[in-house]
Structure 1
Amino acid sequence: MIDPLYALSGFFVGLLVGMTGVGGGSLMTPLLILLFGVHPATAVGTDLLYAAATKTGGSLVHGLARSIDWRVVRRLATGSIPATILTMAVLSRFDLDSSAARGLITFALSGALFVTALALVFGGTLIGLYRARVQQLAPARTAASTVAVGAVLGVLVSISSVGAGAIGVVALVLLYPHLPMSRIVGSDIAHAVPLTLIAGGGHWLMGSVDWHIIGSLLAGSLPGIFLGSYFAVRIPERALKLVLAAVLFVVAGRLAYEHATSASSVFTAFSRRAVP
């Protein structure tokens, strides 16, 4: 059965994704945590499989348009897939219901949101300056750097479900300054499919996925993405990204505050027990 509140949230996030191209994981995971009170581990795992479903559709569109550079996808996956498997193996050693696991996920999520917001605000300026100074990187250095970026994304996405969008696109633009933007975006989306699927599968095996939420989110987000895509050419993209970045800063600040408060409570409780 479709939950109308989750479907409405999915529609809202899908609308922003359709208009800006980013914001899926950056908004969905904190929305599940802060608005619905979903456990951080469950929010991450649920969002990962939700993202795998939505990005599969996006990669099919880009594949038909021949706007995917599979060489770049292979390089990213070479780093991200082993890093994702290793990260999930480490996470499986933790009790995801513990305060330590909750704190780790919240901390990683708030940090990823801050970086994503900075990428939205300053990414265009940084890319412009970089392209004016750098014409072409050495092929071997580019390949190695792409694998390293994939590994970082694998760890970040596995823990927080954030990073495969804006952060991945900015990194690819810097590494491949002469690759058309459509192929950058298409390659990033295509790489996100196995990344989110493997990470989401790992969370599912650990029991941190809510399939009911996924169904409700998809019911709302798919119409939202189509409607957002329709309005994308009618609203200034720069204004939308600045608004989205402002929202991410606020959400990241809220998560960081909750993490600090939780850590302080744990420390206080530990100190009281330590005192005879």
Structure 2
Amino acid sequence: MLLTYVISGFAVGLLVGMTGVGGGSLMTPLLTLLFGVPPSVAVGTDLAFASITKGFGTFTHRLRGTVHWDIVKLLCIGALPAALVATAGLKYFGTLTPEMGQLIRYSIAGSVLLTVVALLFKGKMLAWINARPGRQLKGRALATATIVSGAVLGILVTVSSIGAGAIGATLLVMLYPRLSSAEVAGTDIAYAVPLTAIAAVGHWWLGSINWTLLFTLLIGSVPGITLGSWIARAVPERFLRALLAMTLTGVAAKLIY
């Protein structure tokens, strides 16, 4: 079973490296559907997994100067308190009850579908915004929208472990269309580190992290992400995103039904 987890970590890392989509969209449904891991444990373990892997990614982006720390600050103002509130809610209602497990399962499916929308329509949304520069938010309105976006992502990530990848990046593109792709990726990863770390600590407090599973997934994911980053150069991005969108849609349907 441990070898199976290592292979799964490698496969998810490979897809993440090829597509740039956050591992939560792939790892959490994989653990829930294929290995029968309880939804709350799948979420908690993936959050700990994400906090570690995204920490390394943030270090790299910081060296490249592709992190906008002012945006990271605004996102964290909204996301971190929201994560704490969501954790308290999970504690109050009970993460290990069948009813709460089903609710978490549905939240995972909803977050996966939001990721599919982000994958398929991010380009069109960006084109729409760029064609209407007068409607772009500025000043206090932009700051408020960023904080609110952070709060929404904080709740999504804490409950489902999904949202800090494709969904977060899409929101950044819509709010800050002048950022380059590298700056969007760097800023998205940087704010996700404290968010996933706080959410992971919350799930550790709730007792919903499988540490053995976490370490075996990390063993497989590191070489997978490295290899996927190299393969991505030879495979058309549109094909990859379409394939991933179809896969995630099937995953969401399976989670619901």
Q: Is the 1:14–1:224 Cα contact (8 Å) retained in structure 2?
A: yes
Q: Between 52-61 and 131-140, report the one with greater CA deviation.
A: 131-140
C-alpha deviation, 1:127, in angstroms:
1.2
Task: Say if 2:190 is the partner of 1:190.
Answer: yes
Cα contact 2:149–2:171 (8 A) shared by 1: yes
Contact between 1:16 and 1:23, CA under 8 Å: does it hold in 2?
Answer: no
Q: 1:141 aligns to what?
A: 141
Q: State the shift of 1:3 in Å.
A: 1.3
SS of 2:235's equivalent? coil
Aligned-residue offset at 1:91:
0.7
Partner of 1:205: 205
Conservation of the 8 A alpha-carbon contact between 2:105 and 2:255: yes
| Contact 1:13–1:23 (CA under 8 A) maintained in structure 2 | no
Are 1:220 and 2:220 matched, yes or no? Answer: yes
How far apart are 1:23 and its partner, in Å? 3.9
Q: Alignment partner of 2:66: what SS? A: coil
Q: Compute the displacement of 1:137 (Å).
A: 2.1
After superposition, what is the alpha-carbon deviation per residue over 1:1-35, rounded to whole angstroms, capped at 9, x for unaligned? x9110010000000011111104000100100000
Which segment is superposed worse, 127-136 or 162-171? 127-136
After superposition, the C-alpha distances for 1:193-223 in whole angstroms (9 at most, x for unaligned) are 0000000110011100000001000000000
Mapped contact 1:49–1:196 kept (Cα < 8 A): yes
The letter for the 2-side match of 1:5 is T
Instruction: Report the Cα distance in structure 2 between the residues aligned to 1:143 and 1:221, rounded to whole angstroms.
Output: 35
What SS does the corresponding residue of 2:92 show, helix, strand or coil?
Answer: coil
Partner of 1:170: 170
| Alignment correspondent of 2:55 | 56
Letter in 2 for 1:137: L
Contact 2:79 2:195 in 1 (8 A): yes
1:235 is aligned to 235
Correspondence list, 1:234-253, <5 A:
234-253=234-253
Q: C-alpha root-mean-square deviation of aligned residues, in Å?
A: 1.0
Describe the superposition over 1:113-141 as per-residue Cα deviations: whole angstroms up to 9, x where unpaired: 01101110111111112211125422111
User: Could you tell me how far 1:109 is from its partner in structure 2?
Assistant: 0.6
CA contact (8 A) 2:22 2:164 kept: no
Aligned to 1:100: 99
* Structure 1 runs not aligned, ≥5 long: 258-276
1:211 maps to a residue whose letter is: W
The residue that corresponds to 2:38 in the other structure is 39
Alignment correspondent of 2:18? 19
For the residues of structure 2 that align with 1:225 and 1:138, how far apart are their CA atoms?
36
1:270 aligned partner: none
Q: CA deviation at 1:180?
A: 1.6
SS in 2 for 1:241: helix
SS at match of 2:93: coil
Query: Is 1:67 paired with 2:72?
Result: no
Partner residue, 1:271:
none
Specify the SS of the correspondent of 2:130: helix
Give 1:233's aligned amino acid.
R
Q: Quick one: distance in 2 between partners of 1:118 and 1:137?
A: 22
Unpaired runs of 5+ residues, structure 2, are none
Write the letter of the residue equivalent to 2:213: I
Match of 1:145, SS state, is helix
Cα contact 2:18–2:232 (8 A) shared by 1: yes
Structure 1 Cα separation of the partners of residues 235 and 111 of structure 2: 27
The aligned residue for residue 7 of structure 1 is: 6
One-letter amino acid matched to 1:132: A
Distance 1:224 1:172 in 2: 27
Contact 2:41 2:208 in 1 (8 A): yes
Structure 1 counterpart of 2:219, which letter? Answer: A
For 2:110, the equivalent position in structure 1 comes to: 111
Q: Which amino acid aligns with 1:252?
A: A
Letter in 2 for 1:106: R
Aligned to 2:81: 82
Cα distance in 2, alignment partners of residues 119 and 180 from structure 1: 17
